[in-house]
């Protein structure tokens, strides 16, 4: 067998793997569909109301507990943020959540698989952006919402319909490009 044919046969598996990777990348980016989700597979909850839930409060935060009933007939849109004290990207996004709170945007928190003492220490150190805060220590509510990991944020319009999901930290760019556009549209 000539040397060129052998090289082609040896490189064929690499070519197949590269083509598969490009196809998967195109699928995640929504190429050909007109949609783009930079953080993977879109949430099945977008366009729907949140699943039923009721979370205990993060004692002794003094904040009201969080339940699905709190996401109905809202005065304005709300961000629901899944976070944890052990989550490094949660520290990255925290200044953006604090900024939204100062601007009067309602941010509800779901503390995910965390110890209450650690969560309270995190809020004492970084500030508390949450109007309502529930504790999802077993992670059951996060599973029902389809959370991939923390931080993850959902935008809920005033009718209680989830309009957007962001997996990962809300960076200043995401705040300006995505969240502000949603706030203008659903205000």
pLDDT tens for 21-67 read 776 666 555 544 444 444 445 788 999 999 999 999 887 667 778 99
**CA dihedral (115, 119, 120, 122) positive or negative:** positive
Judge if 165 and 87 occupy the same domain.
yes
Tell whether 7 is covered by a domain. yes
Global pTM reads: 0.78
Tell whether 49 is covered by a domain. no
pLDDT at 32: 46
Residue with structure tokens 């991939």?
Answer: 148
Domain range enclosing 109: 54-186
**Structural domains in the chain (count):** 2
Judge if 2 and 75 occupy the same domain.
no
User: What would the pLDDT profile of 58-107 be if each residue is shown by its tens digit?
Assistant: 876 677 789 999 999 899 999 999 999 999 999 999 999 999 999 999 99
Tell whether 44 is covered by a domain. no
Judge if 18 and 93 occupy the same domain.
no
pLDDT mean over 162-187: 95
pLDDT at 111: 97
Q: What is the CATH number of the domain that holds 102?
A: 3.40.30.10
Structure tokens at 31: 């190429």
CB atoms within 10 A of CB 120: 18
DSSP label of 103 = T
**Residue 68: partners with Cβ closer than 8 Å, 6 or more residues away:** 49, 50, 51, 52, 53, 54
Judge if 58 and 30 occupy the same domain.
no
């Amino acid at each position: 067998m000539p040397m060129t044919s052998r090289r082609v046969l040896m490189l064929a598996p690499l070519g197949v793997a590269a083509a598969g990777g490009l196809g998967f990348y195109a699928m995640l980016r929504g190429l050909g569909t007109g949609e783009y989700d930079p953080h993977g597979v879109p949430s099945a909850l977008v366009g729907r109301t949140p699943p039923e839930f009721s979370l205990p409060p993060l004692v002794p935060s003094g904040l009201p507990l969080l339940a699905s009933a709190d996401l109905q007939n809202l005065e304005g849109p709300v961000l629901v943020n899944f976070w944890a004290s052990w989550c490094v990207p949660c520290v990255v996004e925290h200044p953006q959540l604090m900024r939204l709170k100062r601007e009067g945007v309602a941010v509800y928190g779901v503390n995910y698989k965390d110890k209450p003492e650690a969560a309270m220490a995190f809020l004492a150190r970084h500030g508390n952006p949450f109007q309502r805060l529930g504790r999802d220590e077993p992670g059951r509510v996060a599973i029902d919402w389809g959370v991939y990991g923390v931080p993850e944020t959902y935008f809920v319009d005033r009718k209680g319909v989830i309009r957007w999901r962001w997996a990962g930290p809300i960076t200043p760019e995401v705040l300006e490009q995505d969240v502000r556009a949603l706030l203008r549209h659903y205000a």
